[in-house]
Structure 1
């Protein structure tokens, strides 16, 4: 199995605990919790800022001595409503107590005390259509660089219809040469409908030094340290992806693979 494909380590509780050390990169962390009603989790942020995303279910969220109350209105991720999300600065303690079965993502990257703890969704998050034909997908920009809500983190959700592609035409963001391209580590947490289905993601570089094609299951994570990273949902299987990114600059700039630029030019006409 590829080192880029990470399987859940448990059925409930903290099913993913991806740190920079475990991912063999510099900045990005991603934790995923699957919680039962009444279950409490609490963590310090340390040197990282954190964005909590309630992927499914409801939970009472607190940061230091501030109580944000019960958040969450999306009981099934595939209803495509905007998620509740909370930004937490570095040097803070946060807690979440599930009030229903809940799936909680914990996105982390270095923080610089540039933003206060605050709710950053669902207000300000809108479902946007991207791509054309069988590359059409739907995006929630939770904390991309068009929103000044974080110091380092970039977070988005992508809904890929059955039989469609995402991150396609293939593109990469692995060089720190802004504004042409940015260098961003990325982790993709995938969900599937039906949950017994599978998806496919290829992570590759032009020189062939990295070329991994992975079939992932419901709740798997795919790491993208560099290279192009398109993914596909088979016929009959709908796909959801939470994508967390971080790099030297909080900018999302990418380059399309040269062999596929004709698609961009064709579809722009």
Structure 2
């Protein structure tokens, strides 16, 4: 059984609120990244008090209201499906604050966490603020929505990004890693992948491996699964006929994304 692949758990937290995933320091090998995915029915609420962690609340689908009890943001969220291929809204909440989420429609909400000790202002990250990129060529193409890239200096630790990969393409490819604190060449960032697939009965393949193969897992990842990447290279392959979406959360001791390609496969960039 894989220690990196997580299936949805469907735990009812309160009326109208279902926990699909929870990844934290107690149940995973991660030290810098935490992640939850919740489904909320219209009118239901979810509340949480943050300690020394910051949180990026991503309205994956549907619309929500988010309040830190000083500011309130309504109409957060832009889409009914991630496969509309457009960015969504998010809300950043700093450490030592509390927040409440209220669903305006049926909503799926990602809660992305990382350690934080310097309090920053709460803010809404509007869909229009997301940097949109088309990366790769040949069968290595994907659409990227940068929610919290490393160029954004308004947060302490979190990096958050969405990626859509079309049928028969590879993503996070050529295989790259960011598990060594050796700047400027490479940064140490843990990572989680939350996956959705269209049509939903499909699957993708994700491999997580290190140079010495002390970690080497290849997983068939299904709709709404999570993959944990504590270290190593982590490419994703999408079978013919299916489209892949994933939400990445990254964090580490320094908030910068510098990756190292697997030298065995870096040659494909020169084609």
For this structure pair, what is the TM-score category when the shorter chain's length is used for normalisation?
over 0.9
Alignment partner of 1:143 out of 135, 145, 148: 148
Structure 1, gaps ≥5 residues long? none
- SS of residue in 2 equivalent to 1:123: helix
Deviation at 1:114, TM superposition (A): 4.6
The reply on whether 1:214 has 2:223 as its aligned counterpart is no
Q: Separation in 2 of the partners of 1:246 and 1:64? A: 26
Q: Separation in 2 of the partners of 1:25 and 1:79? A: 31
Counterpart in 1 of 2:235?
A: 230
- SS of residue in 2 equivalent to 1:142: strand
Root-mean-square deviation (CA), in Å?
1.2
- SS of residue in 1 equivalent to 2:228: strand
Counterpart in 1 of 2:95?
A: 90
Q: Separation in 2 of the partners of 1:256 and 1:198? A: 25
Counterpart in 2 of 1:8?
A: 8
- SS of residue in 2 equivalent to 1:78: helix
Counterpart in 2 of 1:198?
A: 203
- SS of residue in 1 equivalent to 2:264: helix
The reply on whether 1:41 has 2:46 as its aligned counterpart is yes
Structure 2, gaps ≥5 residues long? 12-16
Alignment partner of 1:133 out of 138, 145, 157: 138
Conserved? CA contact 1:33–1:103, under 8 Å: yes
Alignment partner of 2:128 out of 98, 123, 127: 123
4+ runs of 1 displaced by more than 4 Å?
A: none
- SS of residue in 1 equivalent to 2:265: helix
Q: Separation in 2 of the partners of 1:219 and 1:104? A: 12
Deviations 1:139-159 (A, max 9, x none): 011101022231000000000
- SS of residue in 1 equivalent to 2:267: helix
Counterpart in 2 of 1:153?
A: 158
| TM-score, scaled to structure 1 | 0.96
Deviations 1:13-48 (A, max 9, x none): 111111122112211100000111112101111110
| TM-score, scaled to structure 2 | 0.95
**Equivalent runs, 1:21-40 vs 2, <5 Å:** 21-40=26-45
The reply on whether 1:113 has 2:104 as its aligned counterpart is no
Counterpart in 2 of 1:67?
A: 72
Deviations 1:211-269 (A, max 9, x none): 000001111000000000000111011000000001000000000001012112x14xx
- SS of residue in 2 equivalent to 1:112: coil
Answer with 114-123 or 166-175: which moved more: 114-123
Deviation at 1:75, TM superposition (A): 1.2
Q: Separation in 2 of the partners of 1:209 and 1:121? A: 41
Answer with 200-209 or 115-124: which moved more: 115-124
- SS of residue in 2 equivalent to 1:259: coil
Q: Separation in 1 of the partners of 2:118 and 2:79? A: 30
Alignment partner of 2:170 out of 153, 165, 173: 165
